[in-house]
Amino acid sequence: MIGSGYVGLVSGACFADFGHDVICVDKDKSKIDALLAGRIPIFEPGLDHLVASNVAAGRLKFTTDLAEGVKDADAVFIAVGTPSRRGDGHADLSYVYGAAKEIAGAINGFTVIVDKSTVPVGTGDEVERIIREANPNADFAVVSNPEFLREGAAIDDFKRPDRVVIGGDDPRALEVMRQIYRPLALGRSPIIEMSRRGAELTKYAGNAFLATKITFINEIADLCEKVGADVQDVARGIGLDNRIGGKFLHAGPGYGGSCFPKDTLALLKTSQDYDAPQRIVEAVVAVNDNRKRAMGRKVIAACGGDVRGKTIAVLGLTFKPNTDDMRDSPAIAVVQTLQDAGAKVRAYDPEGMEQAKLVLDGITYCANSYEAMEGSDALVIVTEWDAFRALDLDRVKGLLSEPILVDLRNVYPREMAEKAGFSYTAVGR
């Protein structure tokens, strides 16, 4: 497993738990040193135990030596980052191609090279060309095997997936991949085989569709506010149609994270390269970008239209619960909008504050929810952590200088909040 970040570490630990021998390779010595010492560099529920148990069983190892990790491998998974490239939004594939070049000189005997990273259409072709050019005598095949892991539920997603997608046409490679994923057959998880380019596009198309669902219900939420409807009723009403489904129909401050923002941009760049415009996805990206700062303005409006000199308590900084990931989190835009308007911000997040400190300056980080509220003029819920779902509203009201609650995740029923004496603002209700 080349790369021991989120995808590489979760995938490696799960493969080891299946009974495979796994070596995770990473150039970052501090990360490998931490893993060797039993410290997990990311927050993912259950991952610490999974890693520890498989290390103890001798099935999971960590190293900075790529050649040593690759030389006897039946399959080498490339699970390195593909961040958005500065300037044009295309996926930066330098880490993927760099890994391919190094792998070329280390493989021994027939080896399956697996693109696990999220990569644009045609990346597998280039990986194959790089390896062939670097080592003309190498016996290998390149397949695409995109990941579909949700942060906060990644282990369960890996072990009980909706599907496994494998893209390639080499019979030997496909048989190796079937054996790697054979333990999932016991749970009857569908393994779908297709072309390599088809697999590459499947990942992007899937994420773009989910981003579209989120953005659609967010715009419907805005309409609900204008016409006096409740977006939660509307979402349930359409979600029970099994052609639509209820997932990703939760109105809120917009999507963020490590996947949707960069993958939608990468899909747009690919569509431009192939002269096949994706107008719907273009609109999704634009609407979502605008929405995040709009949520900051929503808070300002709830505070009477002016927050200069006021203190706002913000609960939740990560882009979703059960992760410490701050990448493109809506909270960033909300906090910055409030700061631009002259507000002071006090914030708390159960897991994300250390990462938040890297991207958000000038705010007071608090030890718990109630400390953030103390003396604040309004409370804003940005991320729906479980810890925020059962706040003592009487205590909250006593800590705030003004009983203003802005619920950007619709955690609390309006009746409950208003009965407790709050001026309550939600999304689409």
| Tokens 């059960």 sit on residue | 322
C-alpha distance from residue 313 to each of 134, 352, 363, 380 (Å): 56, 16, 10, 6
Question: Rounded to 5 degrees, what are φ and ψ at 306?
Answer: -150, 125
Q: Cα(416)–Cα(148) distance, rounded to whole angstroms? A: 37
Alpha helix stretches (DSSP H) within 230-344: 231-239, 260-273, 279-302, 330-340
Q: Which helix (H) or strand (E) holds 415?
A: helix 414-419
DSSP state, residue 76: E
Active site residue 366: no
Residue 282: exposed, middle, or buried by beta-carbon count in 10 A (0-12, 13-18, 19+)?
middle
- Which entry of 14, 224, 259, 366 is annotated as an active-site residue? 259
Tokens of 241: 């149609």
373-407: b (≥16 Cβ within 10 Å) or e: beebbbbbbbbbbeebeebebeebbebbeebbbbb
241-259: b (≥16 Cβ within 10 Å) or e: eeeeeeebbbbbbbbbbbb
So which residues are the catalytic ones?
Answer: 259
